[in-house]
């Protein structure tokens, strides 16, 4: 299958991949990138927290800073990430795939008891992805994957965290136009194909507009 080349577009395409810790985001991002590159696209992989100064700080401080301060730090990293990395790559016409983006900011800070409305407001100005993917599965399956892989921080160590994350993702994205992908029973290669196929459909509509 051939995708319509991104170079036909005035700007690139932002694809975000979110979902509970251990669901398979990082694994999927790499498979999706491989598929898009094989289809001739120019791909940039990135992640949040970013590798920039605010992202590094957010990662470092996640164990000791909580609540509003940590939410602001992650949001600050997101705006800086968009400005210094995501937007420049979009302007070069690339497909930018972000391993975590706004949905993670709407979900993870709920573990510290923050009001969803505050988190929405904090993230309201972030560039909207062209395709926002949310991985979903039975929380018990995700919990097992997380245990096998190992927790990276206090959020992932909280008892029942996979169930809480799945619930928070549902709440956070019920008003969003998102692509929900069941990652519980299919291998990452197959999930990447599902997203690639969705992108192919996505290109069909703009193709008419841009050639007009
Ligand atoms: N579709 C899948 N089916 C089964 N296991 C998977 C799948 N995707 C990822 N995994 C495994 O689950 C674990 C967590 O994957 P990872 O990509 O690190 O998740 P995340 O980035 O969402 O935290 C890893 O051991 C990985 O090999
Ligand atoms: C992007 C983002 C991440 N985080 C947290 C969630 C993760 O625990 C951590 C990133 O850890 P990481 O190990 O990269 O994620 P994963 O376990 O999914 O592979 O940062 C937030 O709390 N808020 C945010 O807005």
* pLDDT score for 166: 97
Q: Using the structure block, give the residue that is written with the tokens 């997101």.
A: 78
Split at pLDDT 50, 70, 90, the class of 4 is very low
Four-point Cα dihedral 154, 156, 160, 162, nearest 10: 150
What is the band of 200 on the pLDDT scale with cuts at 50, 70, 90? Answer: confident
* Domain spans of the chain, in order of start: 6-204
Helix or strand (DSSP H, E) at 96: strand 95-99
What's the whole-number mean pLDDT along residues 33-52?
Answer: 96
Q: Which ligand is nearest to the CA of 32?
A: 1
For residues 63 and 41, what is the distance between their CA atoms, to the nearest angstrom? Answer: 38
Kindly give, in sequence order, each residue whose CB lies less than 8 Å from that of residue 63, ignoring residues fewer than 6 positions away: 153, 154
pLDDT given at position 201? 78
145 lines ligand 2 (CB under 6 A): no
**Separation CA 190–CA 146 (nearest Å):** 20
CA 25 – ligand 1 centroid, Å: 7
Question: 52 exposed, middle or buried (CB, 10 Å; 0-12, 13-18, 19+)?
Answer: middle
Supply the pLDDT for residue 203. 65
Q: Can you give the pLDDT at residue 2?
A: 45
Q: Which residues line ligand 1 (CB under 6 A)?
A: 21-27, 145, 148-149, 183, 186-188, 191
Instruction: Quote the pLDDT of residue 205.
Output: 56
pTM: 0.93
Give the list of residues 6+ apart from residue 28 with CB closer than 8 angstroms, or none: 17, 135, 183, 188, 191, 192, 195
Q: How confident is the model at residue 11 (pLDDT cuts 50, 70, 90)?
A: confident
Of the candidate CATH numbers 3.40.50.12780, 3.40.630.30, 3.30.365.10, 3.40.50.300, the domain formed by 6-204 belongs to 3.40.50.300
Across-strand partners of 145? Answer: none
* 202 CA to centre of ligand 1 in angstroms: 26
- Distance (angstroms) between ligand 2 centre and the Cα of 48 equals 7
Residue nearest to atom 23 of ligand 2 (CA): 105
ipTM rounded to 2 decimals? 0.97
Ligand nearest to the CA of 108: 2
In tens, the pLDDT along 118-163 reads 999 999 999 999 999 999 999 999 999 999 999 999 999 999 999 9
């Amino acid at each position: 299958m051939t995708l319509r080349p991104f170079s036909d577009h005035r700007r690139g395409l932002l694809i975000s991949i979110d979902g509970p810790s251990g669901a398979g985001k990082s694994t999927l991002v790499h498979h999706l990138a491989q598929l898009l590159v094989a289809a001739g696209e120019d791909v940039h992989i990135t992640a949040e927290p970013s590798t920039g100064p605010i992202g590094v700080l957010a990662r470092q401080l996640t164990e000791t800073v909580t609540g509003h301060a940590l939410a602001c730090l992650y949001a600050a990293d997101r705006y800086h990430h968009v400005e210094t990395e995501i937007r420049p790559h979009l302007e070069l016409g690339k497909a930018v795939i972000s391993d975590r983006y706004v949905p993670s900011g709407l979900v993870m800070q709920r573990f510290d008891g923050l009001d969803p409305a505050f988190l929405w407001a904090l993230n309201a100005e972030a560039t909207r992805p062209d395709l926002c993917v949310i991985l979903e599965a039975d929380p018990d399956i995700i919990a097992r994957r997380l245990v096998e892989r190992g927790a990276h921080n206090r959020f992932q160590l909280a008892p029942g965290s996979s169930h809480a994350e799945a619930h928070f993702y549902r709440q956070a994205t019920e008003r969003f136009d998102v692509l929900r992908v069941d990652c519980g029973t299919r291998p990452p290669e197959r999930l990447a194909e599902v997203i690639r196929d969705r992108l192919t459909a996505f290109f069909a509509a703009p193709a008419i507009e841009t050639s007009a």
